[in-house]
């Protein structure tokens, strides 16, 4: 088991380096995610050699898309008041958001195919379940650790 964890961590090093360079998600959160996935997936050494490079590519591609969105697109989050925008500007905001979601979905489908063709489908299922449970646990941790507002 220790060998698997060590091997997994070696495969994750390039991702940690790129995460810190890109200024993407918190390296702390990504480190928690990777530890969580390592524990939940319980990959064999061979599966780990296949899984982590695909996972790292997937995360890099998602990060690049989010970076592109934040640099090149105006989003609803950056707009102060919808009423202050023209109809064309509002329509453009909506179309940009939909285009981003479409690109994100295409990345998800692409990497689902890579995972599915390289690993047993039950391992892929465990990965997707672990991703969802990690999000819920992270949100729960944040919610429970947040000070109450008066």
pTM, two decimals, is: 0.71
Residue-by-residue pLDDT tens, the chain, 150 positions: 544 444 444 444 444 444 444 444 578 888 889 999 999 999 999 999 999 999 999 999 999 999 888 876 666 666 667 888 889 988 888 888 899 999 999 999 999 999 999 999 999 999 999 999 999 988 888 788 754 444
Question: Please, are residues 41 and 123 in contact by the beta-carbon 8 Å criterion?
Answer: yes
Question: Please, are residues 96 and 54 in contact by the beta-carbon 8 Å criterion?
Answer: no
pLDDT for the residue numbered 9: 47
pLDDT for the residue numbered 79: 60
Alpha helices in the chain (DSSP H): 2-22, 27-41, 45-72, 87-118, 121-145
């Amino acid at each position: 088991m220790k060998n698997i964890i060590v091997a997994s961590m070696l495969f994750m090093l390039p991702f940690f380096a790129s995460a810190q360079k890109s200024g993407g998600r918190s390296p702390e959160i990504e480190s928690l995610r990777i530890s969580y996935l390592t524990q939940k997936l319980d990959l064999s050494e061979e599966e780990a050699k296949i899984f982590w490079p695909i996972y790292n590519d997937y995360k890099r591609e998602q990060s690049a898309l989010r970076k592109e969105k934040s640099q090149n697109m105006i989003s609803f989050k950056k707009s102060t008041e919808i009423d202050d925008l023209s109809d064309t500007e509002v329509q453009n905001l909506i179309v940009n958001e939909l285009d981003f979601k479409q690109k994100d979905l295409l990345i998800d489908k692409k990497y689902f195919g890579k995972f599915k063709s390289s690993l047993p489908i039950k391992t892929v299922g465990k990965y997707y379940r672990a991703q969802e449970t990690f999000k819920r646990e992270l949100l729960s941790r944040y919610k429970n650790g947040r000070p109450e507002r008066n």
